[in-house]
Structure 1
Amino acid sequence: MTSIALFRDQYLRIEGRMVAFERRDACRNLVFLDVANSSPFVVREDELLDLMARGQAYRVGGAEERAFKEGRKSDLTSLAQLQVDEDLKARTLRRVTYVQAWERSGLKTRKRQELVPVIEATAAVLNDRHPPQPGTLQSWITEWEKSGRDFQALMDRIAQRGRRGSQQKLDAQNLFDETVEGLFLNSMQYDVSNVYRQVRDVFTRRNRLTGDTWVPSYSTVYRKIKTYDRYVATANRKGVAVADRIYRPKTGHVSTERHHERTELDLLKTDLIVVDKDGNPIDRPVVIIAYDHFSRMPVGRYIGFEQSVAAAIECIHHATYPKTYVKEKYPDIKGAWPCWGLSENYFADLGSQFVANDFSAMLKLLGCNITFAARETPNDKAAIERFFGTFTRSLVRYIPGRTFEDFYRRRNEEAVEMQPVVTLEELDYLVHRWIIEVYSQQFHTGINDVPHRRWLESVARHHIIPLPEPEVLKAAFCLTTHRRLFDYGVRVNNLIYNGPEIAAIRTSPAYNPGGTVMCKIDPKDLGAIQVYDPGRERFVTVQQSPGSRRMFDARGVTLVQQTLALKLIKARPEKYSEDNVAAAHADLQRYIQDKHVPKDRKVRRLKAAYGVPKHQIPSPINPALSDLSISDALEHLPDSVLAGEFTIPDEDDNIGQDFTASAPTPEVLELLPSPTEPVASDLSASGTNSSASSAARFAEMARRMGVTGRGGNKDV
């Protein structure tokens, strides 16, 4: 459907190029002519709309159009300088006289009835017995203005018209041109032989009716095809994106001059299966990375199973704060992760976790901007895309538990080297060590420098802006919802929060009793929420009410745990009442701690997401609810439980990106724990199972990956 009104020779500026609209081709693509070099420029209508939305395409008008036309004006100051015969000069002078008479008349328009007096007066002065019609003068005025008042624009081209041949031959030539263009310039991608056969059939049928004998030969068809512009032909046959990739000049990358000027965000669902603390397989974890474009340093990460806005916020949270925990949590890692602070501009794709309202509200509260890449344009954030390629090739492919990219290569056999042995905590440790000791210390061909050194040099020159007050950060890194306030408080996630703060808000003159207030929810702790006070224009902390806390103490309970409990209550209303959240948590806790491994991957992922509560829930276990019934209830939960926002309607899953990597060698087995080794469940004390053994395993892995100085990062 055509939604852009364009006329011939209309000027537009697209990505800095001045182009003039030419026509629409057979595929309804827009064909422009580059004014600078007269080369064709093809773009789809939806792409032009996207460029207009981003401000990279607009119609040239006003002062810019006048300046452009003035720049194109000919250097000729009089008709005497034209190197043509006297008759052509006289005809051109006649036209110029009529046009200049219209200019001197002061008319703002060129309506036919307004041009009649101008034509009559000028014809009387010139003694012209055959004056032009008003429509003819209109066309002269148009050519005169479009050329920037160039005398040559009003010259006739009688000498260039050529000879008029037979109308029958002209019809045959037009049919030949249209047939070849329609067959060759389309997405069917016919070759020359196929085009020739169909052209021959068309003319054979035509000759039976007209009596003509001319049938184009193979050479004629071939020569006609060779006259097509290669870019236009490729754009019509294979698409504009392919034509751009082949023929457009590779202008390089986005230019940045300092750190935190542009931070790219993206999500990767790794080709790796992780296990729980008992060695049972769970699922493929998700990695979200915040990547500084200038220094090529990863500034933040999230590793888990969620593909929700909460996971994206956690990545920004990790990127914002200084990473001083590395020395205490992972003492065997040599080096530091110096990245922290807020970026000026964030750049992400259209993943549901990035376009969510909570994510935009967080960045707005922090004073940051976010820009989204267009659909199917990975080149817009090529830096982080190539980082994920390096991450997969340099680290993930060496970790046992990597999934096969080809089912037939596996031959339905269980490969020993592919058995998962790494927990989510150990994967986080490996990612930390790979970033700090490997990636950030290797030479990067994209910046001709080492990322770690480039970051430190940029910080020394431009420094890092201090973080805002903790209350603002705490409110920013929370999920947002809107609730009404009542005398008993505010209800969020089936929990009631109340206190003097609620009473102060309700009595404030700035409070609207019939409206709602903004509430901020910490996904990691539901013991308290933050409510916006319109009178003081700030967020205040409101604790869980004593009555609600006696029924179920939500301190230390995560939003995922509460959501799963509420989903279980909804799925089993005959076994739970709406207020008996503690019983649902107790049964879920017993089910999570059970050694039973469910077959459904979604159930395993939900068990891992529930995790271990920070405190024991003082509620008896419901003996009537068996493990099988809980598993069945979890299996029927929607997939969006871990992929969406929990306080507003769920979002869709982002499938992430998968990379193909070759199978690791059997020697890599000794680098990580075997399936029979005990797997650590807490790295807070000593880093991993054993700091010394982990260091030795990773040192050997680093040696095999070439960390000792060979090679470098290839994600240019």
Structure 2
Amino acid sequence: MAGFGFRTNTVFDWNGAQFRIERLQPNGEVLLERLVDGQLSIVAQSTLLAEYGNGLISADTEDQAASRPIVPVFGRPLDELSAAVQADFQRRKRYLEYIMDQGQPIFTGAYMKPLIKAAANDMGDEAPPSVTSIYRWFRKYWSSKDPRALVPRLDLRGARGGKQGERLLQLLSDAMEEAYKASPQATAPTIYSRLLAKIETENGRSCGGQLLKSPSIRTIYRMLQNASAYELSRLRNGNAAADKRFRLVKVGTKTTQILERAEIDHTPLDLFLIDERTGLPLGRPTLTVVIDHFSRMLLGYYLSFGDPSAAAVMGALRHAILPKEPAEEVIPNLKAENPWPCYGRPDVLVVDNGLEFHGQALESVAFDLDIRIQYCPKHRPQFKGAVERYLKTVNYFFCHQLPGTSFARLHQRGDYDPQKCAVLSLAEFKQLFEKWVVDDYAQKVHRGIGMAPWAKWQQGLKSRSIELPPNLRAFKKRIGLVSERSLRQDGIVVSGIRYNGETLSPILRSHGVGVKVRVLYDPEDLGEIQVWGPGDADPVPVPALDQEYAKDLTSRQNTAIRQILREQGAASEDKSALQRARTELVRAVDDLMASRKQRDRRRAAAIRGMSSNNPDINLKAVTPQPKPLPPKKAMPSPSGEANGSAPPLPLPTFKLKRRGGDGT
């Protein structure tokens, strides 16, 4: 190939400018001319060689490349060529080498024919090339200064363009779009049938013009074979799937300390859990996790039988920020060997575009806790790849090893019935999961960070101190579901429950009836809410008026009870109706738990409020407490002594009625 050398008139690029070698000095110096302005300079050859070694000199300038005739050069290794092509290449090369060894070639018949004959005799070639062939080979080599230009390019022979017109290609493209939209498994005959119909319609609209000729089905097969893999994937699966399949994996986000970036997401676990009372499978729970990006440690999680929701997000975030306590020991002699050291408020929380992440609740809590929310682009899960990979690890390396696993694909089950093999309750799974987190996952080397997550977290503790909220009550005042309500003299109504107390008096006196206030409540306990008046920095707690009903009541349970009241046409303020509705809910949940349908049992578990916070919770009916009787007045003594002890009163007599008649 053409290269860089110390020859006069050689032009090369150096530091963004073009230079020409004007003269070579005997002492090893080179006189250079800068072509842009003609300035002359003297540079040592050793300096130019050093610059060439650093990649700062290029002899193939843009002007030279533009003026050089285009010669197709085979750029791949020669051993990829067939034996016949390699033999032909070596033959051409040996002919040129023999002729050029005799001096500057002169391409006339009188000069070249004796040389060609002598070279053929030397090689034993019975069919020597013509003078024209030798000239053509020499011109290719001389133009490119690359012997690979002599490789026979059999792949470039034949017509390079298609024989179909642009209108026919457009109809074929439309037929492919329609066929793959109807079915991702569309075949060439299906596409061909659609194309023929379009050609017939197009020719029917033509008024004396040139008619389109229908191609053969072999043409369709060839065109599909020549189509790019990306384009076929786009037609079959859509743009998002094609971009995901053919994208290049690049270096992800870099973090330098713990809690700098946390990622949150949900997934249904590939595992069936059972009800510990009935032993029936409840279904696959939904796991919400928060992952520290720097250490890949699990900051916190929330497990329930409900769908992804804002309540699940709040539960996982609360668990992530607070220090961890060991799970209740429901499986004997199975304790975690290592503590769970992760807690603290993350600086950035990366979320996707689920509805539970776009509500007012998360934005309000993030503002109160000074957490910045970062949303991923739509259909780009790689922007939070750490949590996506962790959820896959949980399912594949933990859940798939437990009895009752459903596996990731239905065909992987074979004859295995996961619901019949399910043996773990929610409380038992919680204990197993937390032990796996701290004793297994956290102690193994993570390929993404090059060390164990546990060790990475301990390393991060050396460069950052972790702060907690002032106290637990202050923290609970900042995390929960948020809404706006009007304050009236009878208090505040949230989800049909009325809240009132003396703590609302200052807000009511300052701003009047009907003022809008900010309300925060825990969806797992509706017994109390936190209320901010206009301009207030801190909330005030306000209890529910009916504590007997609202204490420890979940938002889902309250919704179900209100639905029963609406069906019965009862007023929501009727306490007896509330008690009856709650009793009916308990009975309905018990019936659902014993149902033969797994979907009903899962719904019952969600209504009961079974979660990682309350794995053993049971829904109970409200038992009305009898009102205390007023104290009786003292009876005067028969003797008239006021201070004397009263004699025992005679027991009242009563009559017992018999069935079918009266009796004494």
Is the structural similarity TM-score above 0.5?
yes
Letter in 2 for 1:542: V
d(CA) in 2 for partners of 1:238, 1:409? 23
- Residue 396 of structure 2 is aligned to residue 393 of structure 1: yes
Tell me what 2:494 maps to: 492
Secondary structure of 2:263's match? strand
- Residue 506 of structure 2 is aligned to residue 523 of structure 1: no
Identity, % of aligned pairs? 25
- Residue 421 of structure 2 is aligned to residue 419 of structure 1: yes
For 1:395-474, what aligned pairs fall within 5 Å after superposition?
Answer: 395-403=398-406, 415=417, 418-467=420-469, 470-474=472-476
- TM-superposition CA deviations, 1:315-373 (whole Å, max 9, x none): 00000101134598997111011111111111122222222221222112211122222
Tell me if the contact between 1:265 and 1:384 (Cα under 8 Å) persists in the aligned partners.
yes
Secondary structure of 2:488's match? coil
For 1:512-551, what aligned pairs fall within 5 Å after superposition?
Answer: 513-534=513-534, 536-545=536-545, 548-549=546-547
Tell me what 1:286 maps to: 286
- TM-superposition CA deviations, 1:548-602 (whole Å, max 9, x none): 44xx343333333333222222233379974432232234345556797023445
Tell me what 2:301 maps to: 301
Tell me if the contact between 2:330 and 2:428 (Cα under 8 Å) persists in the aligned partners.
no
Tell me if the contact between 1:334 and 1:437 (Cα under 8 Å) persists in the aligned partners.
yes
Tell me if the contact between 1:499 and 1:543 (Cα under 8 Å) persists in the aligned partners.
yes
Tell me if the contact between 2:274 and 2:422 (Cα under 8 Å) persists in the aligned partners.
yes
Letter in 2 for 1:332: K
- Residue 604 of structure 2 is aligned to residue 607 of structure 1: yes
Tell me what 1:670 maps to: none
Pairing partner for 1:619 from 606, 614, 624: 624
Tell me what 1:258 maps to: 257
Question: Aligned pair in 2 of structure 1 residues 176, 475: CA closer, same or farther (>3 Å)?
Answer: same
Tell me what 1:322 maps to: 323
d(CA) in 2 for partners of 1:615, 1:223? 70
Tell me if the contact between 2:369 and 2:478 (Cα under 8 Å) persists in the aligned partners.
yes
How far the C-alpha of 1:221 sits from its partner, in A, is: 10
- Residue 556 of structure 2 is aligned to residue 557 of structure 1: no
How far the C-alpha of 1:295 sits from its partner, in A, is: 1.2
Letter in 1 for 2:519: C
TM-score, normalised to structure 1, is 0.53
How far the C-alpha of 1:466 sits from its partner, in A, is: 3.5
Letter in 1 for 2:300: G
Pairing partner for 1:335 from 338, 359, 363: 338
- TM-superposition CA deviations, 1:13-55 (whole Å, max 9, x none): xxxxxxxxxxxxxxxxxxxxxxxxxxxxxxxxxxxxxxxxxxx
- Residue 368 of structure 2 is aligned to residue 365 of structure 1: yes
- Residue 582 of structure 2 is aligned to residue 585 of structure 1: yes
Question: Aligned pair in 2 of structure 1 residues 565, 602: CA closer, same or farther (>3 Å)?
Answer: farther
- TM-superposition CA deviations, 1:510-538 (whole Å, max 9, x none): x2644321111122322221111335432
Tell me what 2:172 maps to: 183
TM-score, normalised to structure 2, is 0.57
How far the C-alpha of 1:423 sits from its partner, in A, is: 0.7
d(CA) in 2 for partners of 1:542, 1:519? 10
Question: Aligned pair in 2 of structure 1 residues 419, 364: CA closer, same or farther (>3 Å)?
Answer: same
How far the C-alpha of 1:298 sits from its partner, in A, is: 1.3
Secondary structure of 1:388's match? helix
Letter in 2 for 1:518: R
How far the C-alpha of 1:287 sits from its partner, in A, is: 0.7
Tell me if the contact between 2:260 and 2:294 (Cα under 8 Å) persists in the aligned partners.
yes
Larger Rg: 2
Question: Aligned pair in 2 of structure 1 residues 449, 564: CA closer, same or farther (>3 Å)?
Answer: same
How far the C-alpha of 1:445 sits from its partner, in A, is: 1.1
How far the C-alpha of 1:286 sits from its partner, in A, is: 0.9
d(CA) in 2 for partners of 1:449, 1:294? 11
d(CA) in 2 for partners of 1:211, 1:290? 66
Letter in 1 for 2:395: T
Secondary structure of 1:425's match? helix
Secondary structure of 1:311's match? helix
d(CA) in 2 for partners of 1:280, 1:191? 46
Tell me what 2:106 maps to: none
Letter in 1 for 2:269: T
Higher relative contact order (CA closer than 8 Å, sequence separation 6+): 1
d(CA) in 1 for partners of 2:254, 2:536? 42
For 1:58-457, what aligned pairs fall within 5 Å after superposition?
Answer: 176-177=165-166, 179-180=168-169, 183=172, 187=177, 240-241=239-240, 244-245=243-244, 248-278=247-277, 279-307=279-307, 308-326=309-327, 332-403=335-406, 415=417, 418-457=420-459
Question: Aligned pair in 2 of structure 1 residues 380, 523: CA closer, same or farther (>3 Å)?
Answer: same
Secondary structure of 1:618's match? coil
d(CA) in 1 for partners of 2:404, 2:203? 65
- Residue 479 of structure 2 is aligned to residue 477 of structure 1: yes
Secondary structure of 1:338's match? coil
Question: Aligned pair in 2 of structure 1 residues 175, 208: CA closer, same or farther (>3 Å)?
Answer: farther
Structure 2: gaps spanning 5 or more residues: 1-34, 39-61, 65-160, 181-185, 610-616, 627-664
Tell me what 1:141 maps to: none
Tell me if the contact between 1:401 and 1:419 (Cα under 8 Å) persists in the aligned partners.
yes
How far the C-alpha of 1:471 sits from its partner, in A, is: 5.0
How far the C-alpha of 1:451 sits from its partner, in A, is: 0.9
Supply the RMSD in Å over aligned alpha carbons. Answer: 4.6
Tell me if the contact between 1:556 and 1:614 (Cα under 8 Å) persists in the aligned partners.
no
Letter in 2 for 1:301: Y
Tell me what 1:569 maps to: 565
More off after superposition, 488-497 vs 360-369: 488-497
Letter in 1 for 2:312: A
Tell me if the contact between 1:586 and 1:619 (Cα under 8 Å) persists in the aligned partners.
no
How far the C-alpha of 1:297 sits from its partner, in A, is: 1.2
d(CA) in 1 for partners of 2:301, 2:382? 22
How far the C-alpha of 1:430 sits from its partner, in A, is: 1.4
How far the C-alpha of 1:497 sits from its partner, in A, is: 2.0
